[in-house]
Amino acid sequence: MERSDWMWKAFLPEGSEFRPTPRRCELFVGSANISGLNFPATLVFVGGFDSLQDRQRKYYDWLKESSKEAYLVEYPQAIHTFYGFPELPEASQLITEVRDFIQKQCK
């Protein structure tokens, strides 16, 4: 929690309320009922060294529990926002995964 709090404080304007609350992060908390919504297929990426990986998996699980089409792609050696570093092999793998996913959804 301490590490997460530091990250929120570091990237938001000074004085911002940084701690996520169920109201602010309702989708991630999974408290909203979306079973009746026409929700698009979703691709969720998780890096093995991402401090938010538990939340990302929870989001994926919530989609599946809501009977939504969701796919989980895990990169065990990846860090948070790894896709922003083109020199990492996982970044180009993600681009390929996204391309393939979009092509599949457009068929």
Secondary structure class of 56 (helix, strand, coil)? helix
Q: What is the pTM of this model?
A: 0.74
pLDDT digits (tens, 9 = 90+) for 45-58: 999 999 889 888 98
Least confident residue range of 16-20, 38-42, 50-54: 16-20
Mean pLDDT of the region 19-37: 63
For CA atoms 81, 18, 5, 10, the dihedral sign is positive
Contact between 96 and 83 (Cβ < 8 Å): no
Which residue, 36, 98, 89, is CA-closest to 71?
A: 98
CA 51, CA 82: separation in Å to the nearest integer? 12
Mean pLDDT of the region 66-90: 95
Give the confidence band of 4 by pLDDT, cuts at 50, 70, 90.
confident
Which residue, 11, 1, 83, is CA-closest to 45?
A: 83
Give the confidence band of 7 by pLDDT, cuts at 50, 70, 90.
confident
Give the confidence band of 98 by pLDDT, cuts at 50, 70, 90.
very high
43 φ, ψ (degrees, to nearest 5)? -110, 120
- Greater confidence (16 vs 67) lies with 67
Question: Which amino acid does the sequence have at 106?
Answer: C
